Structure 1
Amino acid sequence: MTHLRIGTRRSTLAVVQTRIIATALERAGHTCELVEVTTEGDRNRSSLAKIGGQGVFVGALRDALLEERVDVAVHSLKDLPTGSVAGLTLAAVPPREDPRDVLVARDGLTFAALPEGARVGTGSSRRLAQLRQLGKDDLEFIEIRGNVDTRIAKVRDGELDAVVLAHAGLTRLGRQGEITETFGPTELVPAPGQGALAIECRTADEGVVRALAGLEDPRTRAAVTAERAVLAGIGAGCSAPMGAFADTIGGADGNDLSLHAVVATVDGSTSVRLSTSGPLGEAEELGRQLATALLAEGASRLIEERVT
């Protein structure tokens, strides 16, 4: 039995996610203590594009690990930069929750049924770029930040007509009943790693690494490895207007992955979408190959346009 101090962001969703992991570890015979850590993304309410996006929700947790204030850190995997940190290891990727994006709209409306001039909130350039490609040129998109409660409250209070959120977060909070539409994962391609959790610890803590190994789901690991290889291969950060989604072909017993990715301009005027497939065991190479193909089709120019 091991006593584990588990670092988490202070948000309600982050704490719920961390408690899910703590419960699984306690069932395996370990004792757990949650340690709340405030990250740059929690302190700074500016848009993710302005504050850098890359790592703003994970840096303080990683510092806490390296300074031995916590033994384990639980991240939303989509927030995790693709580069490794010396002394830390991604010890486990548990089974993934639904990775799709969803709409929460007033009066039970779907996206297509939103009236002219409807105000739709999102804090994601990826979502914004793809929503603008869905044929609804009469909508007003509003940049928002905040937790799930804050965003949905803007709809309930009439400030917005709808918001776009991650299915996984609503499910973990028990609020999936408020979803009015779920977007297909190739229609609105999710962020790499969306719906998955990343369990990180110090590489040298062999006992902790062994304790976390039981949380690992190999198929989720393969899928997010492929998605993150696309992200790394095109040189984009976590807040870039790009999505990547991998899934097992043939269900739970399948041995191949399908991989779909998109890179777009934020205004939705131009995008590159490509797909591929290959063996589960070659997930990283699959992602690298798709990234190379995206770059050959002009994805780098779209990323540069966003930067400039």
Structure 2
Amino acid sequence: MSAAIRVGTRGSALALAQTTQIANRIAAAAGAEVEIVQVTTHGDTSAEPLSSLGGTGVFASALREALLAGDCDLVVHSFKDLPTAEYPGLAIGATPKRADARDVLCARDGFTLATLPQGARVGTGSPRRVAQLRSVRPDLEVVDLRGNVDTRLGRVVEGDLDAVVLAAAGLGRLGLLTTFEPEFLELSAWPTAPGQGALAIEVRSGRLERTLVRALDAINHPTTQATTMAERLVLARLEAGCAAPIGAMAAIDDGLLFLTATVYSPDGAQSLVSSHAATPESFSIAHLVDAAQDVSERVARDLLSGGAADFAPMKVTS
């Protein structure tokens, strides 16, 4: 590893904002200089719908290749964009504390999801959000949407769309929550993507420099690590890609690890929900991981036995 710790990231405004926050924390914890390395991914350059590109893993592959090639020492991912399958030669080095996991609706003229006019045009590139919108408001025209946050919001400002659905965490990291005053969609009725709101710090497998290990330990958040693991294990156990219409939310409360997951049919006409809880023996990382594995297996088993695979595209490659 070079004298400066090199942190790889996509070049979008959101990716740079969240990576800069992480880089500053790593620099402070390691007592070392940090250099940000921008990497262009296929997902950034293609205008095709996300589903036709093979899922959100298109945002991760170039970063991972740069990491394996030694162009950087770690990379910062939005956890919801990271495929669930293990990647040879790489490992998750840290999971910082999660931001707001909710989705938000950014609409013109102060409209909410309930008050949008019949036939209103709502933009999203997420199959999960498409299914949820069609489930709640089948009268809406759902428009496939790509581009960075500014581009998406711009289509509402320009009048091309009546609203867009975005992640609250992204708007928060860009300082746009107070600017657009969005409607927050509560997780109990509108579960979001496994890992949404969380970041994943990926490193090369094997022995790491001591200063980097110290920095990763300092920014890791055990509760976030356990809850995002539980959510993503459901995705993995269902053999679903990152773009499948699945919402999941885990939380630790009163000594229990709770997990709820919902699988939607693409048209939003059907959905299945499963909720379970596990009791960790302690709040050590090892016991939290055991609890996450246990509860995710039970939730996934429920969903499969309930017929989730019959109405959802459960084998999307990510």
What's the TM-score once normalised by structure 1's chain length?
0.94
* Correspondence for 1:241 among 245, 255, 275: 245
Matched residue type, 2:229: T
- The residue number in structure 1 matching 2:195 is 193
- The residue number in structure 2 matching 1:172 is 173
The answer (yes or no) to whether the contact 1:72–1:200 under 8 Å persists in 2 is yes
CA displacement at 1:87 relative to structure 2 = 1.7
- The residue number in structure 1 matching 2:279 is 279
CA displacement at 1:300 relative to structure 2 = 1.1
The answer (yes or no) to whether the contact 2:227–2:250 under 8 Å persists in 1 is yes
The answer (yes or no) to whether the contact 1:105–1:180 under 8 Å persists in 2 is yes
CA displacement at 1:204 relative to structure 2 = 2.3
The answer (yes or no) to whether the contact 1:77–1:197 under 8 Å persists in 2 is yes
What's the TM-score once normalised by structure 2's chain length?
0.91
- The residue number in structure 1 matching 2:299 is 290
* Correspondence for 1:53 among 40, 55, 58: 55
- The residue number in structure 1 matching 2:220 is 216
Gaps of at least 5 residues in structure 1 are none
RMSD value over aligned CA atoms?
1.6
Aligned equivalents of 1:306, 1:55: Cα separation in 2:
14
* Correspondence for 1:87 among 86, 89, 93: 89
Aligned equivalents of 1:68, 1:210: Cα separation in 2:
20
- The residue number in structure 1 matching 2:262 is 262
- The residue number in structure 2 matching 1:163 is 164
Q: Secondary structure at the match of 2:275?
A: strand
Aligned equivalents of 1:146, 1:285: Cα separation in 2:
37
Q: Secondary structure at the match of 1:74?
A: strand
Q: Secondary structure at the match of 1:154?
A: helix
Q: Secondary structure at the match of 1:115?
A: coil
CA displacement at 1:305 relative to structure 2 = 8.1
Aligned equivalents of 2:8, 2:20: Cα separation in 1:
11
Deviations 1:276-304 (A, max 9, x none): 11135211221121111100001111234
Q: Secondary structure at the match of 1:285?
A: helix
Q: Secondary structure at the match of 2:37?
A: strand
Matched, 1:142 2:143: yes
Q: Secondary structure at the match of 2:57?
A: coil
Which is further off, 272-281 or 226-235? 272-281
Q: Secondary structure at the match of 1:50?
A: coil
Aligned equivalents of 1:151, 1:168: Cα separation in 2:
15
Q: Secondary structure at the match of 1:293?
A: helix
- The residue number in structure 2 matching 1:6 is 7
- The residue number in structure 2 matching 1:18 is 19
Matched residue type, 1:303: A
Matched residue type, 1:145: R
Matched residue type, 1:64: A
The answer (yes or no) to whether the contact 1:193–1:227 under 8 Å persists in 2 is yes
The answer (yes or no) to whether the contact 2:240–2:313 under 8 Å persists in 1 is no
Where in structure 1 do 4 or more consecutive aligned residues deviate above 6 Å? Answer: none
Deviations 1:119-169 (A, max 9, x none): 1111100011112222x2321111111110000000000000000000000
Aligned equivalents of 1:181, 1:239: Cα separation in 2:
23
Distance 1:298 1:109, change over 3 A: same
CA displacement at 1:54 relative to structure 2 = 4.7
Q: Secondary structure at the match of 1:133?
A: helix
CA displacement at 1:209 relative to structure 2 = 3.2
The answer (yes or no) to whether the contact 1:265–1:306 under 8 Å persists in 2 is no
Distance 1:306 1:217, change over 3 A: closer
State the percentage of identical aligned residues.
48
CA displacement at 1:2 relative to structure 2 = 5.6
- The residue number in structure 1 matching 2:285 is none
Gaps of at least 5 residues in structure 2 are 281-287
Matched residue type, 1:284: Q
- The residue number in structure 1 matching 2:122 is 120
Distance 1:162 1:293, change over 3 A: same
Distance 1:305 1:37, change over 3 A: closer
- The residue number in structure 2 matching 1:110 is 112
